[in-house]
Amino acid sequence: MKKYIVGNWKMNQNLAEIEDFFSSLKIDGAQCEAWVAPQAIHVSHLLERAKGTNLKVGVQNICEHEKGAFTGEISVASALDLGATFCLIGHSERRSLYNEDDDLLNKKVHTALKSGMTVIFCVGEQLIERQSGMTNAVLKNQILEGLEGIKPNSFQDGQLLIAYEPVWAIGTGEVATPEQAQQAHAHIRAVLAVELRLETKEIPLLYGGSVKPSNAEGLLSQKDIDGALVGGASLRGDDFTKLTNII
């Protein structure tokens, strides 16, 4: 299985900061996939700037509809047209701040996979859910609802990735322990295999939530962790470079 470092820039990085990122990015020899999702409005700029590097560019969200009267939305086809190769779906900020529910997320997954877009589907429990021993149940539910109707022939190997991002670890500096992350990933793999019968498919699993160069090694050395989805520490080219070296 390939390894992945994926940057989620959220609503950060102006053009000058993007220049800074590239001035300290050195991923020529990287042995992993190196992906970044900037603000959608910067996709073309980033692709231009990334020419000659191995960096792939994606979007942080897409519309569940293919086209039409949906003011302010981003279609999968337009993102692909520009050269974006992947999208995040179901990031916890989309779920909590924009009320994206499982049903909507499921439509987005279907629309994106059908169009040939690679999908990083994000799941993760809240702190209260972990504290009350509901982590496995929450993850299973998010996967079964979000991926409802997805069959082995709905996507190519590597076209669907799952990011496990405990909500309490996102942007908080409080990272899951390697053991907690591994346990959740093993559970997710089992749900994909047993409940969805996707055991024959290659589905990379990424960990996300306060990953940085100083804590990445323990997480990325776990058996069921194939990479990281990184917010804050992906904004600087030198940190991003370090993560690709660690993996």
Spatial CA neighbour of 179 closest among 187, 168, 167: 187
Spatial CA neighbour of 88 closest among 10, 179, 27: 10
Say how far apart CA 43 and CA 29 lie, in whole Å: 23
Tokens 């670890």, residue? 169
The burial class, CB within 10 Å (0-12 / 13-18 / 19+), for 1 is exposed
Active-site residues, by number, are: 91, 165
Using CB under 6 A as the binding rule, whether residue 211 contacts ligand PGA is answered as yes
Closer CB to ligand PGA, 124 or 135, in the complex: 124
DSSP state of 164: E
Using CB under 6 A as the binding rule, whether residue 229 contacts ligand PGA is answered as yes
Least distance (Å) between residue 89 CB and ligand PGA:
12
Closer CB to ligand PGA, 116 or 171, in the complex: 171
- Judged by CB under 6 A, the residue of 210, 215, 241, 244 near ligand PGA is 210
Using CB under 6 A as the binding rule, whether residue 146 contacts ligand PGA is answered as no
- Judged by CB under 6 A, the residue of 231, 241, 242, 243 near ligand PGA is 231
Closer CB to ligand PGA, 58 or 231, in the complex: 231
- Judged by CB under 6 A, the residue of 209, 215, 227, 242 near ligand PGA is 209
Using CB under 6 A as the binding rule, whether residue 232 contacts ligand PGA is answered as yes
In the bound state, the residue with its beta carbon closest to ligand PGA is 231
Say how far apart CA 206 and CA 203 lie, in whole Å: 10
Using CB under 6 A as the binding rule, whether residue 165 contacts ligand PGA is answered as yes
**Is residue 243 classed as helix, strand or coil in its secondary structure?**
helix
Using CB under 6 A as the binding rule, whether residue 243 contacts ligand PGA is answered as no
Using CB under 6 A as the binding rule, whether residue 227 contacts ligand PGA is answered as no
**Cα torsion angle, 247, 85, 185, 209, sign:** positive
Whether 243 contacts 215, CB under 8 Å: no
Say how far apart CA 193 and CA 11 lie, in whole Å: 35
Closer CB to ligand PGA, 176 or 198, in the complex: 176
Least distance (Å) between residue 11 CB and ligand PGA:
12
Spatial CA neighbour of 43 closest among 81, 2, 88: 81
Site for ligand PGA in 45-84 (CB under 6 A): none
In the complex, the residues that contact ligand PGA under the rule CB under 6 A are 8, 165, 170-171, 208-211, 229-233
